[in-house]
Amino acid sequence: MSNLRELYLENQPLEARPSMETLRGILSNSKDTLECLELTYAIGLGEEFGHLPPSESRLTLPHVKKLKLVYIDPREAQQILRTFDFPTLGTITMKSNDENKDSSAVIVDVLKYVRVEELLDVMLTRISLPTEDFPERELNGAEEESLPLVLQFLRRLARGNLHKLVLEYCSGDFLKFMNYRNESGGGEVNLSGLHALIVKVGTEDASVGVMSFIRDRLELGTVDGVYGGPVMEHMVVIVKPNVWEEAQSLGDMKLAKDGGFFFCNFVLMN
């Protein structure tokens, strides 16, 4: 038995990366004390991937509150989500090293294996998904899996008490579907109770998309010329200078009590 509370594995050479069996052995010895797990380019892809372990064989880590997964191949993150159960998880960070690589499979497994409604703090970096359109009609119950993947994710976050959402170089659909009205919830936009939002993009096109999100959200919350929609405590938007004039035209940031726009001529890589 170990008293390990935090485990950080970072930038392991391919030939030295632990197998899932080895990692499981390490974590099983600390399952009663481990509170934070961060894995950055650290897990080997074994032949066993694709053979989903039965739910009863997943190792439960009952005290892990914080999980960070940084991956090159989406299967690295999938292996962790399929092998370990995090019943008290409150903070999750998911980072792909390539914003052009489809991370749909990772989000699918997050929805399947993580208690999304209980998350308080979510950070996504370079998470790319195929663009999808708003559904033609509201789908509920058993049909919810037919909704666009991002919308499924946001709706489940909205059912809980999500405090902070950070989106860095992610698909524009995350912002677009935040403005999808949830008719079963009284017509409110998704994540109307969010406290803090940080958005960072690295291209001019993505910057235009961010401004569209802001304008649409303002419009959805405005009645008789007065904005009465949800107001966050804090909102930071990092965009390219091509939208400077449009940002200035908005005046005060009505969507949040604190924060603002920052304009960047280069891409920040974390």
The residue ranges of every structural domain in the chain are 1-45+59-125
CA separation (Å) from 208 to 150, 172, 240, 246, 258? 20, 10, 9, 9, 22
State the pLDDT at residue 49.
57
Structure letter (DSSP) for residue 186:
T
SS3 track for 92-115? EEEEECCCCCECHHHHHHHHHHCC
Long-range contacts formed by 225-230: CB under 8 A, 24+ apart: 227/254, 229/189, 229/192, 229/255, 230/188, 230/189, 230/192, 230/193, 230/194, 230/255
| Weakly modelled stretches of the chain, pLDDT under 70 | 1, 46-56, 136-142, 182-188, 266-270
- Taking alpha carbons only, the member of 127, 57, 60 closest to residue 92 is 127
Provide CB contacts within 8 A for 200, sequence distance 6+.
166, 167, 168, 169, 238, 268
Task: Classify residue 127 as left (phi > 0), alpha (psi -120 to 50) or beta.
Answer: beta
* Prediction pTM value: 0.90
State the pLDDT at residue 265.
75
